[in-house]
């Protein structure tokens, strides 16, 4: 495929983190080749003299003048004319087609970053030459120049990266599917089809580690030709000689992650370690020493007697429900709401009504929708509800109304874009004000 690019007119579509990596990759391959760069932003400057820029609202028109379009994941396929789809490729597709090493691909609506990180740590501790790539790690294009058959690439794969793939990883890890990214895809079925590419092209020499309790994942797994390893599996079989009870109750092996959903992530990582033949005790030791990732049910600390948890990456109702299940009845205050993508909050409202929560701190715009859903289910309710416009006011209210010994949880069940740039900004502001008001 790379040789084919030599005599083709190539356009880089999207010039963010991955687009820049694509440019450096192509420039190394073809030092003097004229390349096109198209992006909605008008602030991009020419990387060198052999570049043609197509910027602003009409940037997509440049596609028709090029033979090959190297698309960034942030640009939805649905906004591209169907007539040009045959000339679209991606960094992920190029890597999969040309990588001489093994690829372990991890996907799922939620949990893939934690699972990817844990797999990487387990294999690294086992002496395997591993690389952390994809969403959570480095962009992959330029790694092709040094890749060997002995390299193993632990690749976190979003649905956007999987969408156009014609090849699946040697080991696929499929965690779950929930309604997500409905603003990016034409419908939920298109999102599911994109996710299914992680196993669609596997053969009998490949492996599929999958969540057997997720109905959609289970149905996709049935069609896979790979060797199938369901999770959750028999803990004793995977971890032996560490006792089964050790995994489930923490007596003998410390589980550093909160919630049953994280136990599934751990067992998926364990299964990959066993595929590579790593000793069970070495895997168990890695799990014990694993540090939870930021913004994923992250324990901030106890301040003024209140325990604070930052789960700002919780962008769908299912993950907020899982957080409540994991933390139990001590959650007294919860932050909810964000950008509206048309997702139903009925199940979340039912779960909140079953909880011991007393304070709802609501961000626009879905915060109001979640509140309406709760009110519609029960006319008389036990909650204090506050609609806020910023994180400072939200945290101030949390300190005012949360009792000592109780938990304040940021887990909004919505994306952050209504008043925050992204989940990182939201989570970092939460941590900032929690610590700031603790001093007052």
Residue-wise pLDDT for 392-417, tens only, equals 999 999 999 999 999 999 999 999 98
- pLDDT of res. 139: 86
Residue 160: pLDDT band (50, 70, 90) is: very high
| Architecture, CATH, for domain 298-438 | Alpha-Beta Complex (3.90)
Q: Phi then psi for 296, rounded to 5 degrees? A: -125, 85
What is the CATH T-level fold of the domain 4-72, as seen in this structure? Rossmann fold (3.40.50)
Residue 236 has pLDDT above 60, yes or no: no
Structure-token match 């969403």, residue found: 135
Report how far apart, in Å, the C-alpha atoms of 99 and of each of 35, 87, 245 are.
23, 21, 41
Strands 227-231 and 171-174: unpaired
The hierarchical CATH code for the domain 93-289 is 3.40.1190.10
Helices 423-438 and 391-401: angle between axes, nearest 10 degrees: 50
Measure the CA–CA gap between 18 and 136, rounded to whole angstroms.
12
- pLDDT of res. 244: 42
- pLDDT of res. 1: 60
Distance of CA 284 to the CA centre of its chain: 24
Residue 137: pLDDT band (50, 70, 90) is: confident
Tell me if 262 sits within 8 A of 114, measured CB to CB. Answer: yes
Structure-token match 């992530």, residue found: 265
Residue 131: pLDDT band (50, 70, 90) is: very high
Tokens of 172: 């696929």
Residue 232 has pLDDT above 90, yes or no: no
Of 183-192, 203-212, 234-243, 283-292, which one has max mean pLDDT? 203-212
Residue 253: pLDDT band (50, 70, 90) is: low
Measure the CA–CA gap between 136 and 114, rounded to whole angstroms.
9
Quick: pLDDT tens for 61-88.
999 999 999 999 989 999 998 899 899 9
Strands in 51-55's sheet, in edge-to-edge order, are 51-55, 35-39, 10-13, 68-71, 88-90
Measure the CA–CA gap between 344 and 69, rounded to whole angstroms.
36
- pLDDT of res. 246: 42
Q: How many CA atoms lie within 13 A of 240 on its CB side?
A: 5
**Residue spans per domain, the chain:** 4-72, 93-289, 298-438
Quick one: which of 124, 46, 94, 95 has its CA closest to 286?
Answer: 124
237: left (phi over 0), alpha (psi -120 to 50) or beta: alpha
Length of the chain: 440
- pLDDT of res. 237: 41
Residue 294: CB atoms within 10 A of its CB come to 15
Measure the CA–CA gap between 364 and 108, rounded to whole angstroms.
27
- pLDDT of res. 382: 84
Residue 217: pLDDT band (50, 70, 90) is: very high
Quick: pLDDT tens for 105-126.
999 999 999 999 999 999 999 9
What are the DSSP calls for 83-122, one per residue?
A: GGGGGEEEHHHHHHHH--SEEEEEE-SSSHHHHHHHHHHH
Residue 233 has pLDDT above 60, yes or no: no
Residue 241 has pLDDT above 60, yes or no: no
Residue 60 has pLDDT above 90, yes or no: yes
Measure the CA–CA gap between 115 and 120, rounded to whole angstroms.
9
Query: Dihedral through CA 337, CA 341, CA 342, CA 345, nearest 10?
Result: -30
Tell me if 161 sits within 8 A of 137, measured CB to CB. Answer: no
State the first-to-last Cα distance of the chain, in angstroms, to the nearest integer.
Answer: 61
Residue 227 DSSP code:
E
- pLDDT of res. 440: 73
**Mean pLDDT, all residues of the chain:** 92
- pLDDT of res. 186: 85
**Does this chain's domain 4-72 share its CATH topology with 93-289?**
no
Residue 138: CB atoms within 10 A of its CB come to 14
Give the three-class secondary structure for 166.
coil
- pLDDT of res. 183: 75
pLDDT higher for 11 or 379? 11
Structure-token match 């092209």, residue found: 201
Residue 305: pLDDT band (50, 70, 90) is: very high
Structural Rg of the chain based on CA atoms? 23
């Amino acid at each position: 495929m790379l040789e084919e690019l030599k005599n083709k007119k190539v356009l880089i579509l999207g010039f963010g983190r991955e687009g820049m990596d694509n440019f450096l990759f192509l420039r190394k391959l073809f030092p003097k080749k004229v390349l096109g760069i198209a992006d909605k932003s008008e602030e991009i400057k020419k990387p060198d003299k052999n570049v043609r820029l197509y910027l602003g609202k009409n940037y997509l028109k440049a596609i028709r003048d090029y033979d090959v379009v190297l698309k960034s994941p942030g640009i939805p396929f649905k906004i591209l004319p169907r007539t040009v789809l045959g000339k679209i490729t991606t960094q992920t597709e190029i890597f999969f087609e040309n990588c001489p090493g093994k690829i372990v691909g991890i996907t799922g609506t939620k949990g893939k970053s934690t699972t990817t990180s844990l797999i990487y740590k387990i294999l690294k501790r086992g002496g395997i030459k591993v690389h952390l790539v994809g969403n959570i790690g480095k962009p992959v294009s330029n790694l092709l120049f040094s890749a060997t058959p002995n390299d193993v690439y632990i690749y976190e794969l979003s649905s956007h990266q999987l969408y156009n793939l014609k090849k699946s990883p040697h080991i696929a890890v499929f965690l779950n599917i929930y309604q997500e990214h409905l603003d990016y895809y034409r419908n939920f079925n298109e999102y599911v089809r994109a996710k299914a590419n992680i196993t669609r092209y596997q053969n009998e020499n490949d492996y599929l580690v999958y969540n057997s309790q997720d109905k959609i994942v289970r149905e996709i797994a049935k069609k896979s030709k790979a060797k199938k390893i369901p999770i959750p599996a028999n803990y004793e079989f995977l971890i032996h000689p560490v006792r089964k009870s050790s995994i489930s109750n923490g007596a003998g092996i410390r589980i550093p992650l909160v919630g049953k959903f994280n136990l599934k992530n751990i067992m998926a990582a364990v299964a990959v370690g066993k595929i590579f033949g790593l000793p069970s005790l070495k895997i168990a030791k890695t799990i014990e020493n694993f540090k939870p990732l930021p913004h994923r049910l992250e324990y901030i600390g106890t301040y003024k007697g209140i325990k604070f948890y930052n789960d700002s990456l919780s962008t769908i109702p299912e993950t907020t429900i899982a957080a409540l299940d994991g933390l139990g009845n001590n959650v007294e205050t919860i932050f909810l709401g964000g950008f509206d993508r048309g997702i139903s909050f009925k199940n979340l409202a039912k779960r909140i009504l079953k909880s011991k929560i007393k304070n709802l701190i609501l961000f626009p715009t879905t915060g109001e929708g979640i509140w309406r859903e709760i009110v519609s289910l029960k006319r008389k309710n036990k909650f204090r509800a506050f609609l806020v416009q910023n994180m400072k006011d939200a945290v101030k209210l949390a300190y005012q109304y949360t009792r000592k010994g109780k938990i304040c949880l940021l887990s909004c069940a919505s994306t952050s874009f209504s008043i925050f740039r992204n989940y990182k900004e939201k989570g970092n502001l939460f941590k900032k004000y929690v610590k700031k008001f603790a001093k007052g």
